[in-house]
Amino acid sequence: MLLFLSVPQPRPPGARTRAGAARAARWRRRQWLRLQQLRRLRRLLRGLRGRPGAGGRRRGRMALCGQAAGAASLPSELIVHIFSFLPAPDRLRASASCSHWRECLFYPALWPQLRVCLRVSPAEQPRLEFLMRKCGWFVRELRVEFAAENYLSGGGGPGDGGGADPGTGGEEVEAVQLSSRWLEVLRTYLELVLCVLVSIRNNRNLQKFSLFGDISVLQQQGNLSNTYLSKVDPDGKKIKQIQQLFEEILSNSRQLKWLSCGFMLEIVTPTSLSSLSNSIANTMEHLSLLDNNIPGNSTLITAVELERFVNLRSLALGFCDFTAEMARVLSESNHVPLQRLSLLAHNVSVMHKSLDSMPNDEHWKALSRRSPSLRVYIMAFDIKSDDMLKILKPSIPLERIHFDSYITCVSGAIVDLISRQYDKFLTHFILMNDVIDTSGFPDLSDNRNEDPLVLLAWRCTKLSLLAIHGYTVWAHNLIAIARLRGSNLKVLEVTEESIDFDQGELADQDVDPVHNLIEQVSLGLGQPWHAVMDIESLSVFTEPNRHFYREMQSFSEDI
């Protein structure tokens, strides 16, 4: 006779009921998964700790990258977690280890934001297409900058007309070559813009969208850009497609909080913002629309459209587009107090648009009462002194001002007015003059007892950045500025050719005036100081549009 003995097996508590049986099944499932993970980890450690003998280096490398046991066998979630601690270049290098790591490279959690700076060159197009195909459908913050090379420089490289014979014939050949190069630039620019917009047209996760196109050379020449565009896109199909894609992105957005478009040729139209739904417009926090090619009677946004943006905290527009009616809308109680306002005053816009509709001093007072923390950033391109006197209202809470001149110089009276009206707010003052003849820079202190720049440093106690080029700065005045502001003046950038010395300083044989200037300014600032020797190293001089756009971005984000 056979006797069967049943040995009771341990089981989890609560297994006698139906619900308990389900809990027991889940418990056994967890135990089994833990056991599998433990076995997997043991195989991995065994491969990593193995001591190779003959040819051990080869077997060790296979143990690290092999499919059975090694780095490639790590779970995708763990690889993505490791990648999250690496900067983008190291992340790309690590993805070259094996195909499994390369598949984990473009996991959405690794690329919440994407910032791309592109040269307008055909070589950039395949790289951009690959990147946007991988990330365009899920990226949350996208910032793209297009930088056109300076084809109008007088370089004499191959194909640049440098070997052309002097005279009328050589100038004609150079003009033809220049025209063909700009046609190629515009053609490539349109293709790159299309690539970006097509890749994100269905991205509903996009929260920040920023576009910048550095085609300032074309824009400064006015109708020349339209002439080139008519040759590149004669029927206007590409331009119309770009505008439709931009409006489609706005209409499909569900989480957009930040929209910025600066100096992008033929993308934003006066009807583009109507594509935004009311729910998105009501939650938008930043809006930036900057374009110098808009006709005189048109504007990218109206006061009626601005009424929908009740949650706007920062705004950037052309100065002529910011009207008194807009200031009234932003002062209403149903709008969140505006904290940052960036305005671009361009001579082209001032010539074609009237300054009569701009806010007066009472409008600025009402806006400041509604928004006590409001700060304003103004950039002026070649604005005449008479127009600047109309623009600079006393009640503007001006924190930053940037003058960039090619034809019109800033007068000492304007600098003195700024130091008197905005002494409580001004922190950044930039004065750039792109003159061809460097033998005689304008002197702001001419026929004055006190230098306007010294008075600016004395009155504006919050001044932290001062940059000057193309205006005469006397050495003793520069020393006085450094002593007045001391260590609070974080940045003092003055080009070497802008500094001049008194005859008495040059006549003193015992003291080197340049060495004495560097020593005294360094002592006044409390840090080593040198004059800017190479003006091309200053982006504020070489790329004023890009500098203003980036400063506007950081100015708006610093809330």
DSSP for 335-394, written as a single string? SPPP-EEEEEEEHHHHHHS-STTS--HHHHHHHHHH-TT-EEEEEEES--HHHHHHH--T
Asked if residue 361 is part of any domain, the answer here is: yes
For the whole model, what pTM was predicted?
Answer: 0.80
**444-485 pLDDT tens trace:** 887 667 899 999 999 999 999 999 999 999 999 999 999 999
Asked if residue 247 is part of any domain, the answer here is: yes
- Rg from Cα positions in the chain: 31
Res 218: pLDDT = 45
Angstrom distance (rounded) from CA 101 to CA 65: 10
Angstrom distance (rounded) from CA 221 to CA 218: 5
Instruction: With beta carbons less than 8 A apart as the criterion, state whether 267 and 246 touch.
Output: yes
Q: How many domains does the chain have?
A: 3
What is the three-class DSSP state of 488?
Answer: helix
**Residue 383 sits in the same domain as residue 475:** yes
Res 44: pLDDT = 60
Asked if residue 400 is part of any domain, the answer here is: yes
Angstrom distance (rounded) from CA 236 to CA 259: 25
**Residue 263 sits in the same domain as residue 146:** yes
Asked if residue 304 is part of any domain, the answer here is: no
**Residue 91 sits in the same domain as residue 125:** no
Q: How many separate helices (H) and strands (E) can be counted in the chain? A: 23, 14
Token pair of 363 as six digits: 């409008």
What domain range is 101 assigned to? 74-110
How far CA 490 is from CA of 222, 391, 486, in Å, comes to 38, 28, 9
**Residue 359 sits in the same domain as residue 348:** yes
Angstrom distance (rounded) from CA 190 to CA 237: 11
Res 350: pLDDT = 84
DSSP strand pairing (375-381 vs 314-318) = unpaired
**Residue 87 sits in the same domain as residue 138:** no
CATH of the domain at 463: 3.80.10.10
Instruction: With beta carbons less than 8 A apart as the criterion, state whether 303 and 325 touch.
Output: yes
Angstrom distance (rounded) from CA 511 to CA 513: 6
- End-to-end CA distance of the chain: give it in Å, rounded: 89
Domain final position from 216, 249, 284: 284
Domain final position from 110, 133, 163: 110
Angstrom distance (rounded) from CA 300 to CA 308: 15
- The Cβ-side half-sphere exposure at 91, using a 13 Å CA radius, reads 17
Asked if residue 312 is part of any domain, the answer here is: no
Res 221: pLDDT = 46
Each residue's pLDDT, cut to its tens digit, for the chain (559 residues) gives: 333 334 344 455 544 566 677 777 877 887 777 777 667 766 665 655 554 444 444 444 444 444 444 666 788 888 888 888 888 888 888 888 888 888 888 888 888 888 988 888 888 899 899 889 988 999 999 999 987 654 334 333 333 343 444 444 555 655 566 677 778 888 888 999 999 999 999 999 999 999 998 764 444 444 455 677 778 888 889 999 999 999 999 999 999 999 999 888 778 888 999 999 999 999 999 999 987 666 556 788 999 999 999 999 999 999 989 999 999 999 999 999 999 999 999 888 888 787 888 999 999 999 999 999 999 999 999 899 999 999 999 999 999 999 998 888 899 999 999 999 999 999 999 999 987 665 678 888 876 678 999 999 999 999 999 999 999 999 999 999 999 999 999 999 999 989 998 877 666 667 788 899 999 999 999 999 999 988 877 778 888 888 999 999 999 998 7
- The Cβ-side half-sphere exposure at 192, using a 13 Å CA radius, reads 28
Asked if residue 60 is part of any domain, the answer here is: no
| H or E segment and range at residue 259 | strand 258-262
Contacts 24+ apart (CB under 8 A), 80-89: 80/104, 80/107, 80/109, 80/110, 83/107, 83/110, 84/109, 84/110
**Residue 416 sits in the same domain as residue 490:** yes
**Residue 196 sits in the same domain as residue 247:** yes
Token pair of 382 as six digits: 């070649």
Comparing CA positions, the residue from 269, 360, 270, 377 lying closest to residue 316 is 377
**Residue 341 sits in the same domain as residue 469:** yes
Q: Angle of helix 56-65 relative to helix 18-49, nearest 10 degrees? A: 150
**Residue 133 sits in the same domain as residue 251:** yes
Angstrom distance (rounded) from CA 361 to CA 524: 38
**Residue 238 sits in the same domain as residue 136:** yes
Angstrom distance (rounded) from CA 162 to CA 154: 8
**Residue 106 sits in the same domain as residue 116:** no
Domain final position from 230, 254, 284: 284
**Residue 118 sits in the same domain as residue 93:** no
Angstrom distance (rounded) from CA 390 to CA 411: 14
Q: What are phi and psi of 557, to 5 degrees?
A: -75, -20
Asked if residue 12 is part of any domain, the answer here is: no
Asked if residue 34 is part of any domain, the answer here is: no
